[in-house]
Amino acid sequence: MTQFPRKIIIDTDPGQDDAFAILLALGSPAEIDLLGIVAVAGNVPLALTQKNARMICELAGKPATKVFAGCDRPLHRKLVTAEHVHGKTGLDGPVLPDPVMPLQEQNGVAFIIETLRREPAHTVTLCPLGPLTNIAQAFLQAPDIIGRVQQIVLMGGAYFEVGNITPAAEFNIYVDPEAAEIVFKSGVPLVVMPLDVTHKVLTTRARVEAFRGLGCEVGRVAAEWADFFERFDMEKYGSEGGPLHDPTVIAYLIRPDLFKGRHINVEIETKSELTLGMTVADWWGVTDRAPNALFIGDVDPQGFFDLLTERLGRL
């Protein structure tokens, strides 16, 4: 039985779909106790992701949320960004006011370490929605916290859908494969939301109109974000909407019954130029490598959107 509310840290690179995840968490206080949001460089550089995270909290009417800035580049590589998907600001679409709530002075990696040392062991879940740089840095700097993490529920990787930033790799893993390798080998219980599941939660017209139909500011902005980024994905995939990747992580915490997956071994490719950042998922159990992740493959898409829409409506 899941104990609610679950204490979580969201690690993120907003990103319109990251914004949906943050709003879903902020709209679900009975299930989610959001200890803090840590920004990472990913979709756009850190200066923008930390600012975007604060804009999202203010949109939700939650300016007391603690927002930290973490790492501004991957562990060993040059940052790759995704303005081609998310626009120049990372949150293109509706125009939002610049945030007035402060950025916390403490470094985001230090916040992760301190929180895991302070809270009772196995009571804090990490929710990475971007490259895994901050989490890997925290594990490198403070290996004592690794055994204290309750769970990591992350968006990243792919198996049947393979890649979105290269033919072989999903963006979050590709940007910092060495960080991903540290996380996947850490021994922390992992739940992975790969493209295989996120490509099943599409922002169809009816679903976007349901956001708009909420009749509140959050609903209007959410609909405009969806309108913005789905143009890119609909053209790329020929689908009837864009995949709403990151809120699957928060939805899983609230309603795990909406998802199905397999407990399997997942390794990260860090060497090959051709397949760098690939999540090599032993979906069919053809190796004897030990399972290290619950790799989600299926979702009830309408159940997911009903939950998301209802929670946006609470903000």
297 lies in the site for Ca ion, by CB under 5 A: no
CB 133, CB 108: distance < 8 Å? no
Confirm whether 263 is a catalytic residue.
no
196 lies in the site for ligand BDR, by CB under 6 A: no
Q: Which of 130, 131, 241, 261 binds Ca ion (CB under 5 A)?
A: 130
19 by Cβ neighbours in 10 Å (0-12 / 13-18 / 19+) ranks as buried
Q: Which of 15, 36, 87, 131 binds Ca ion (CB under 5 A)?
A: 15
Q: Which is nearer to ligand BDR, 18 or 224 (CB)?
A: 18
Q: How far apart are CA 222 and CA 220, in angstroms?
A: 6
Q: What is the DSSP track for 187-245?
A: -S-EEEE-HHHHTTSB--HHHHHHHHTT-SHHHHHHHHHHHHHHHHHHHHH--SS-B--
Q: Where are the beta strands (DSSP E) in the chain?
A: 6-12, 32-39, 67-69, 124-128, 149-155, 190-193, 259-264, 266-268, 279-281, 293-299
Query: Interacting stretch for Ca ion, rule CB under 5 A, among 15-23, 78-86, 110-118, 182-190?
Result: 15-23
Query: Interacting stretch for ligand BDR, rule CB under 6 A, among 26-34, 164-172, 216-224, 253-261?
Result: 164-172
202 lies in the site for ligand BDR, by CB under 6 A: no
203 lies in the site for ligand BDR, by CB under 6 A: no
278 lies in the site for ligand BDR, by CB under 6 A: no
Q: Which of 181, 230, 246, 269 binds ligand BDR (CB under 6 A)?
A: 246
Contact code string over 235-254 relative to Ca ion, x by CB under 5 A: -----------x--------
Structure tokens at 224: 């405009």
The residues of the shown chain that bind Ca ion, judged by CB under 5 A, are 13, 15, 18, 129-130, 246
